[in-house]
Structure 1
């Protein structure tokens, strides 16, 4: 069934030593099932703030605007309710969870999202197959979540969660950062598999066009100073690669 994630007039602030600071300054965005939207912009433009605001991080305060999923008010949902509704965040800096194995974490997450535990025999098979596709050593299943993982291993684990949890919409916050070319290809293939099997919508946040060689965007958005400065297709990403963000930064400060 087709779904729509809609953001309208979103303003978000964070608390600083000098009081509230507005980061997002009126974001409008619509993502439908099966679409991939690439959000590109320089450091400090607010891309991660958008990702965490969708996911419900308490640090980020929505001061005005709406986020809806098929007409339902996402902002009224707790973090776990957002996950059960079909929203997923692959974090830029995945956290370590000492004392919890990857296999227990994944099955607990799947149970929480679906409302019932997956049948163990099928679950073990699905997890092993997904790990093999991502070229993850099966021994990782019994290791503590992200503890001692390299940057690339942490990102593969994020995509393993994505493939097994099967969300309706995935927000990928700089999933390509810290990956070598082989890991980038493997991770990108995982995103593409998840998208194809579940008709998932994707919001892909990145600085660089290299991941867009493997995950083809339907729409590209240039994000500057908490706003969408320009929108287009893949050709806009190629233009950014050639010219950088200078003209958008100059326009923002003019």
Structure 2
């Protein structure tokens, strides 16, 4: 565990003490690795992402989460972000009254503890937006308000590149995107990734994985990890779907 950037050990999660949404999940991510978490709708993939970021609506019944050797099982979301965790939402929220630029600059300052120079930050932001084929005027619009589905997903990748976390958890980033938008988002993800950070890509299809090289692939069914392996698992899912795994999850 000492060399793991993220280590999840025997994690069981419920809401209101009901049937577990996640069952005894154990998973390790080392620095520089790309992990893919796949599974059918309702498998618990987004739940795991939310739990890793400290969503207060979920109850951890057993197990632990360690990040870079530190126990963060019950750490507040803001403190996890400062440590270098980032979560890209499947359905990004619209936040009226806060511009995209102001949100990003304030977030960066909060994470680093250093006040960002407005001029320098905006120059860097414009470059990233150009790379993502985003209209620079979007920086002055309220966060995600009136954005198309594709622009919201690009906004999430813009945040990823601007904040430069140590571990990025991307939840269904390719959902609802056309071919061109998937290409742009994929390029943004590849631009972010380097040997000093890690990715956990959550998805139920293989569209975005065609241009991103994964190191490890995991299959989640009914809240349980039922298979882990290399990219041959992706090819198997493309050919057979999730049917071969559906009888292996928890109740």
Contact preservation (8 Å) 2:36, 2:216? yes
CA deviation string 1:123-180 (max 9, x = no partner): 1111000000000001101000000001110000000000010100010000010110
Matched, 1:229 2:218: no
Q: Which runs of 5+ in 1 are unaligned?
A: none
SS at match of 1:20: coil
Matched, 1:207 2:223: no
Distance 2:97 2:120 in 1: 25
- 1:165 paired residue number: 163
> Alpha-carbon deviation of 1:107?
0.2
Matched, 1:249 2:246: yes
Q: Please give the residue correspondences for 1:90-239 in structure 2 after superposition, counting only pairs within 5 Å.
A: 90-196=88-194, 199-239=196-236
CA deviation string 1:28-68 (max 9, x = no partner): 11111111101010011110110000011111111110000
Q: When the two structures are superposed, what TM-score results if normalisation uses the length of structure 2?
A: 0.96
Contact preservation (8 Å) 2:224, 2:250? no
Contact preservation (8 Å) 2:100, 2:139? yes
Contact preservation (8 Å) 2:4, 2:31? yes
Contact preservation (8 Å) 1:3, 1:168? no
- 1:9 paired residue number: 10
SS at match of 2:64: strand
Which structure has greater helix proportion?
1
Q: Kindly tell me the number of residue pairs found equivalent between the two proteins.
A: 249
Distance 1:223 1:113 in 2: 31
Distance 1:117 1:159 in 2: 22
- Select between 112-121 and 63-72 the one with higher mean Cα deviation: 112-121
Distance 2:113 2:52 in 1: 22
CA-atom RMSD in angstroms: 1.5
- 2:65 paired residue number: 67
Contact preservation (8 Å) 1:101, 1:144? yes
> Alpha-carbon deviation of 1:3?
6.0
Distance 2:165 2:249 in 1: 35
Distance 2:115 2:18 in 1: 42
Matched, 1:240 2:241: no
